Structure 1
Amino acid sequence: MSSSIRLSVLLLSALFVFAACGDDDFVDDIFDGEMDELVQTYADRYEANLSYPAATTRLDDFDDEAAYDFQEEFVEELVDRGDEVTGWKLGFTGDAPRPFGAPGPLFGRLLRSQSRASGSTIDISDTWVMGAVGVEVALIIGRDAEFELTDFPLSREQVLNLVEGIAPLTEFPELGFEEGLMGINYRDLIANNAGAKAYVLGETTPLSELQIDIDSIDVRIFRDDSLIGESFSGDALGSQVEALEALLRHLAERDVTLRAGSIIATGSLGGDLGLEPGEYRFEYEQLGTNTFTLVE
């Protein structure tokens, strides 16, 4: 037998033994390398305001846990580049069936770079590839909180004791993917940090000063002084308390502490609005007004 044939046989034998032993380290290294490369791409696209490539079409075995792992790596990369986590957001808090096959609400992180003051003017084309306008409220967390899964369900009092204040909030998710909306599923949205891209935060009212139920705050929505919609604060998962508890359960599953000062965007109060130019004014009962202008 020639030396070249003998070498080929030895290599094939080694590969057979490698596979038979069930050693997946090599495969895992390949997957991790692909994920790291895609995380860098996501961070670059986020900063350049370009569409994301769908992670589900590029990474194998991309289940919910893998999607949230990817999101964590993506956000950590943005933090390494100088950004800062300011809180959390919930998505798909409406009634089932939810978009893109989502089995429940999605969770993501809010970042300092996404924050806009009430009264801001925001350029649509400079900020989103394909965005939307979500009418929401924000809960401001007053103290650190960490729970075990065995602690759930929490009482209403346990949840509300974490909340220091409440504020008007408009959250603008990014839905721009290279494959288009028909070519993605909900795990792609988990991967892109639940679409977090920008938010406008109004003035905070201490929860102790709120004179109506936290789920009974009426909201009126105006564009260019015309009333275009109405909603109420209890429309996110049926209750602000339920929305915050859902986030707390998610954080418990991932051994994450909710930090004091965090802004919690609890989900859209009704369907999202399209990104149309105009002057927007959202009037919140007892909380005041949130305003912004969208331009092209």
Structure 2
Amino acid sequence: MDKQISGKSLTEAYNQQKQFLTKELKHKSISGYKAAVSSYSTQKKLGLLKPITGVLYAEGLVNNNDTLLLENFNASKIETEIGYIINKDIQNKIEVVEVSKFVKAILPVLEIPNITKADANILETIANNGFSSHYVIGDAIPPKNIDINNCEVKLYHNETLINTGKATDAMDDQWLTLATTINNTIENGYSIKKGDLIITGALGNILPLEIGTYKAVYDELGTIDIKVK
């Protein structure tokens, strides 16, 4: 689909997302926000002008070196991403040139969305909060210690390389993607809180989650290891 999705359709999808989250947040809490469809080529294919966004759940946090049970997921994926810890509340939209001032730390993240509707189109994906489920975090470092747009990642499954990605897979610029994610989140009625985690979308390919061991190697950002049984 190269035909652009209408603003009206997107607004309705995000309204449905809010209805979905009204139910989810009765027994879950928000720990941050996520972007998806961050690559320009995929946006064009789906008829989008920017990434889609959704909520991360505090209950979805998985620590480095933890073990997941595949039976707890419907049809889960694994994505290599970059995350940002926000250092102050953000209530209004911001400019790209100032976004780094709002970042306390940067960290490697593996997102594990749980696809509950296999044939969902992009509007249904928005309505279902981007199928947000779990995410694994590595160690955080100060933003001044890394040129984030030069970061590359390699993902191994059972010691076999299965994916490579680079920070600029997300809109050619991590800071642009982060600012866009923040602004879209605010447009949808949320305010970013100090300590929130924001992840900016998949680097490289999105792959099915399978039994075995995973290692993500992120240059200066370090590594993430998880086991899936």
TM-score normalised according to structure 1 size: 0.70
Q: Which runs of 5+ in 1 are unaligned?
A: 1-61
Matched, 1:205 2:141: yes
Distance 2:37 2:26 in 1: 28
Matched, 1:173 2:113: yes
Matched, 1:92 2:37: yes
> Does the 8 A contact of 1:233 with 1:239 survive in 2?
yes
Bigger RCO of structures 1 and 2 (CA < 8 A, at least 6 apart): 2
Distance 1:78 1:228 in 2: 33
Which runs of structure 2 are paired with 1:141-220 in the superposition (5 Å)?
Answer: 141-148=86-93, 154-156=95-97, 158-177=98-117, 180-181=118-119, 184-208=120-144, 210=145, 212-220=146-154
> Does the 8 A contact of 1:218 with 1:285 survive in 2?
yes
Higher normalized helix content (fraction of residues): 1
By how many angstroms is 1:232 displaced?
1.8
> Does the 8 A contact of 2:34 with 2:53 survive in 1?
yes
Residue type matched to 2:107 in 1?
A: A
Matched, 1:228 2:168: no
Change in Cα spacing, 1:122 to 1:100, as seen in structure 2 (3 Å) is farther
Matched, 1:135 2:69: no
Residue type matched to 2:140 in 1?
A: T
Identity of aligned residues (%): 25
> Does the 8 A contact of 2:54 with 2:126 survive in 1?
yes
By how many angstroms is 1:120 displaced?
1.2
Distance 2:30 2:87 in 1: 16
By how many angstroms is 1:131 displaced?
1.6
> Does the 8 A contact of 1:92 with 1:99 survive in 2?
no
Change in Cα spacing, 1:199 to 1:257, as seen in structure 2 (3 Å) is same
Distance 2:214 2:88 in 1: 33
Counterpart of 2:25 (choices 72, 79, 86) is 79
Residue type matched to 2:179 in 1?
A: E
Query: SS state of the match for residue 80, structure 2?
Result: strand
By how many angstroms is 1:173 displaced?
1.6
> Does the 8 A contact of 1:166 with 1:204 survive in 2?
yes
Which runs of structure 2 are paired with 1:239-250 in the superposition (5 Å)?
Answer: 239-250=173-184
> Does the 8 A contact of 1:102 with 1:186 survive in 2?
no
Q: Which runs of 5+ in 2 are unaligned?
A: 1-7
By how many angstroms is 1:258 displaced?
1.2
Residue in 1 aligned with 2:71? 125
Higher normalized strand content (fraction of residues): 2
Work out which of the two has the higher radius of gyration on C-alpha atoms and give 1 or 2: 1
Alpha-carbon RMSD = 1.9
TM-score normalised according to structure 2 size: 0.89
User: Which aligned runs of 4 or more in structure 1 are off by greater than 6 angstroms?
Assistant: none
By how many angstroms is 1:280 displaced?
0.5
Matched, 1:108 2:54: yes
Number of aligned positions between the proteins: 221
> Does the 8 A contact of 2:105 with 2:142 survive in 1?
yes
Residue type matched to 2:114 in 1?
A: E
Residue type matched to 2:141 in 1?
A: T
Residue type matched to 1:172 in 2?
A: I
Distance 2:222 2:80 in 1: 14
By how many angstroms is 1:175 displaced?
2.1
Counterpart of 1:262 (choices 191, 196, 204) is 196
